[in-house]
Amino acid sequence: MIRAMNSLMSSLRRLNLFAFSRHRPTPLPETPRLTSQDVTVVIPSLQGDGGELWNTIRSILATEPHEIILVTVEAHELRARMMVKTIGTSKVRIFSVAQPNKRRQMVRAIPEVHTEITIFADDDVTWPTTLLPWMLAPLEDEQYGGVGTNQRLRRAECPNFQQRIWGFLGALYLERRNFDCASCMYMDGGLPCLSGRTVAYRTRILRDPAFTYGFTHEEWLGRYQLNADDDNFITRWLVSHGQKISYQYHKQSEVHTTLEDNPKFLKQCLRWSRSNWRSNVTSMFCDRHIWTSAAHVHYFSASEVEYPLANTYCRLQPWSTYAVHLTTISHWAIAWDTLLVYMYFKSTELWDHDSRTFGLVVLACWMLTSKFIKLLGHYIRYPGDFLLLPVSVLFGYFHGLIKGYAMLSLNVVRLCVVVLRQNTHILKSYETFTPFPRLSTVNQRSLGN
């Protein structure tokens, strides 16, 4: 049994590696129909100012989009306007919403977009000047509704030891995500999620009234209106509406971003884990479009937007279901590794001591290799980080506790409010806990359900 399990897992990992090595981005067309002037970039920002946002806007302006729309909160709108005035550009327009809510900020900008393509970007990313042609290449095909990019961590300059450890873990998170996206995209055209750090969509999809309602009224457990998980919702929307998605894994489409380089990184992991639970459970058991096409037709009757080929097929994603969505439920590193070692000792009770020891060494090597093979690209770029491999392994086990706590606390809703105190805008956050009601993941009253 242990040999059969090892053989099966090894075969699946080799297949994933093969898929990653074979993935190729959509090449640039010789005579592109879409150019940078067909792109509007929307940046939802809470503070509306700051060094990170300045760098983000400058790097985006260097790609020459049609314009940038910055959406902040009313309390910070003046700061945002002063920043744009300091930058000295007429390509940035400022809008605001009353309360901080990323989805509402995104929706506020959509009616103001006058281009065919809308790109959402976080306020802490850095774009290469070559990004837009690569993001637009797949959208030359009308069947594609969204395009994502590969992402790397912008490493801190002269970090202290603590920053290096947290930065290392953050870099591996992005590296692992790049691997999963590329391999799944090659296998069946799916991926975990089109990350909202930088992602392109067709504007007509975002203007669909059914989309707007669903986006701003999505609920978890039939009670909690979601502010986060915006990129997960849009990705599921594209899949359910028969829109193809693309992932441009290429150096010239590589977006750099920042993550927490302190213990707050654990809170980020917890937030991401909650998002994965909510979205993957919804994809597998509520929407079900990733593994069955029987339930998708009714979505389109309520839509006023034409979705090419949407009424004729909904592309299945069997490999992505196995490799990404199911891992939310099934992948518990410390439990599986413990079980694997236990099964090894039980199945080799009759072996002699030398053979049993040799087999254990082989098993340990195989287990260790499986934990860094996805991350090989990072270690090639930064060979010194290989010394931190034990940190990665231990954090993988610890992350199981984070995922377990996330599963038990999906009824936690994080709210943000702006408080005025002595003319200073102070951002506060708090958490509310309520009992688990019935399972009803998405409010879809306007979508025909």
| pLDDT score at 422 | 35
Integer Cα distance of 387 and 226 in angstroms: 40
What pLDDT digit, counting tens, does each position of 149-160 carry?
Answer: 999 999 988 999
Q: How many Å from the N-terminal Cα to the C-terminal Cα in the chain?
A: 45
Q: Which residue has the tokens 């692992």?
A: 176
| pTM of the complete model beyond 0.85 | yes
**What pLDDT digit, counting tens, does each position of 327-349 carry?**
888 889 999 999 999 999 999 99
Q: What is the pLDDT of residues 234-248, one digit of tens each?
A: 999 999 898 999 999
- Determine the Cα–Cα distance for residues 69 and 19; give it in Å rounded to an integer: 37
Look at residue 428 in the predicted model and tell me its pLDDT: 44
Cα–Cα distance, 126 to 120 (Å, whole number): 13
pLDDT score for 63 = 98
Q: Residue 369: phi, psi to the nearest 5?
A: -60, -40
Cα 121 from chain centre: 12
Tell me the β-bridge partners of 415. 430
pLDDT of residue 388: 96
Considering only CA atoms, give the Rg of the chain.
Answer: 23
How confident is the prediction along the chain (449 residues), in pLDDT tens digits per residue? 555 555 555 566 678 889 999 999 999 999 999 999 999 999 999 999 999 999 999 999 999 999 999 999 999 999 999 999 999 999 999 999 999 999 999 999 999 999 999 999 999 999 999 999 999 999 999 999 999 999 999 998 899 999 999 999 999 999 999 999 999 999 999 998 999 999 999 999 999 999 999 999 998 888 888 887 899 999 999 998 989 999 999 999 999 999 999 999 999 999 999 999 999 999 999 888 888 754 444 344 344 455 554 443 456 888 999 888 988 888 899 999 999 999 999 999 999 999 999 999 999 998 998 888 899 999 999 999 999 999 999 999 999 999 999 999 887 755 444 433 333 444 444 344 434 333 333 433 333 33
Q: Are 233 and 449 in contact (CB under 8 A)?
A: no
Q: Which H or E run includes 41?
A: strand 39-44
What's the rounded Cα separation, in Å, for the pair 206 and 304? Answer: 12
